Homo-oligomer: A and B are copies of this chain.
Amino acid sequence: MATQTRDLLVAAAAKLLDSGGPAAVTLRDVGKVAGVSHNAPYKHFANKEELLAAVASRELTRQGKNLGDIGARGGRPVDQLRAMMRGYVRWATAHPERFKLTFGRWDRGTDELADAASTASANLSDLIVKAQAAGELPEGNPDHLAGLILSLAHGAADRAIGGHLSAKGKGKTNPEDIVDVLFVTLTRAAKR
């Protein structure tokens, strides 16, 4: 098993990331958790940034599978879309550090990341076009609609993580509710 150490390092980094954010992912602790020396990671990754990129890549691939599973279950296109966005915000609030890591400039993005993102984006566009054809979503540029839906899910998740969702009194709004509000609005706008 040539790549076993590499996988152990990525798993250790993910665990430390969950426990205390990127600052808690010290190479020394990664090595300790993985059972190697504090600079064994340098034999598998150029630096700490690339180790974190590997964690992000693993997470994005898993998340892509989740969305694919929801799509495989079938149903009305608009219901699939809503289920996907609900799953997305649920994942984000359950693993805030992984969510924040996955988004956040992967400039020269290791290809793997770009691939996972582009296939997910393509699936989404297909669903939107189908939903529009079925009259479940308003007409207009599908890319604009995709931007609207993804941005809303992303923003609701990020605001929930930051604690900016229940601003006023007792309104303990959760991000899934906001996703629902968007889809209610879209449905209403569709059958104008």
**A contacts, CB < 8 Å to B:** 103-105, 107, 117-118, 121-122, 125, 138, 140, 143-145, 147-148, 150-156, 158-159, 161-165, 167-168, 171, 173, 175, 177-178, 181-182, 184-186, 188-189, 191-192
Contact = CB atoms under 8 A, between A and B. Distances in A.
12 contacts: A103-B158, A107-B163, A121-B167, A143-B171, A144-B173, A148-B152, A148-B178, A151-B156, A152-B152, A154-B159, A155-B156, A185-B186
Q: Is the interface of A mostly helix, strand, loop or mixed?
A: helix
A138 B167 CA distance: 22
B103 A178 contact: no
A165 B191 CA distance: 28
Contacts of A165: 147
Contacts of A178: 144, 147-148, 151
A185 B148 contact: yes
A156 B122 CA distance: 19
Most buried by B among A103, A167, A192: A167
A151 B166 CA distance: 12
A173 B189 contact: no
How many copies of the shown chain assemble into the complex?
2
Contact of A156 (B147, B159, B162): B147
Contact of A117 (B140, B164, B182, B184): B164
Contacts of A167: 117-118, 121
B182 A148 contact: yes
Nearest to A118: B167
A187 to B, nearest CB: 8
Q: Which 9 pairs of residues, A with B, have the shortest CB-CB distance?
A: A155-B155, A151-B155, A154-B155, A188-B189, A189-B189, A151-B156, A121-B167, A103-B162, A152-B152
